[in-house]
Structure 1
């Protein structure tokens, strides 16, 4: 079985970081509580160099923050778009972007996996969140061509999590009040450590 899928298609080999990151600039990651994270994003209607440049920046920003996915509103842009570089539970790597994503409604009775989840906009916090074991997201690529991405396990979690962002939801919204308070406490305790690690990673990637 292929070990890497790019935009949903198998490839024979692939670099450690998506080539887009080499063209990108690091952007500031928004944090929970900022308005752009908590309202629905606009559809992307213009496909061109500005969108391509945003995708490049998002890939690099995601790698600096050591994330598996990043939505546009996490860099302050209220557009329906996310990038990802994420393994599934079989260790297969999935890399790509999806514009105007729509998550298929889960099949009735589909098993939920209640596993740990974090978010670059809630730095340092990790909580168990139930998500379907399989996800299908439909949208477009940077050129406006139709795209369908399927994932299982951890990659399905990533697809659902990032699509949530485009609707103005962070994973804290799926937690009980008590668990949400716990997550925010973790964020307070670990935020400085996370930011120090991101700064070191930016230097490592040559983008301080």
Structure 2
């Protein structure tokens, strides 16, 4: 088996690669910098970190966007952080267009951090550990693990138009979709590679997953 971590110059790729190597020591985990390397892999991990306009721009300059869209349809696929956000149509962040694989937008947490009258001000970006509550069963995020804590760093979150895509939700002043799943694809807003035991267990389930 060969797992490709898509390398378009954005995201903490080495941490993702090392975490995958830790849970699957007998598997080749390689950074994929060309469409051909993506297509030759058996499983795809699509990380992203930073501003979505910058990530989309880097992906397109490297001519990787079509390969990513293909992999999201044809291979076991895991999106991480901005790698989740780019699957949707558009982001409020710079008005950036995404890959458009799913209907919906990427929206910002309230700018002043006040999410509702009488609520304490919450810092944006949402940074740190928070609970992920499953809304349906899935091999990557089983219901028995609902409520597990994972590590987040983000100011924007996805708002799918199709609620059936949502796999898990998280409450940070607003309740948002922190994981989505469809067929061979799972994507999460949090960082499994930074989430200790729970994150490594998620990556191990992805390596074993047979959608």
User: What is the TM-score when the length of structure 1 is the normalising length?
Assistant: 0.33
Larger relative contact order (C-alpha < 8 A, sep ≥ 6)?
Answer: 1
> Which structure has the highest helix share of the two?
1
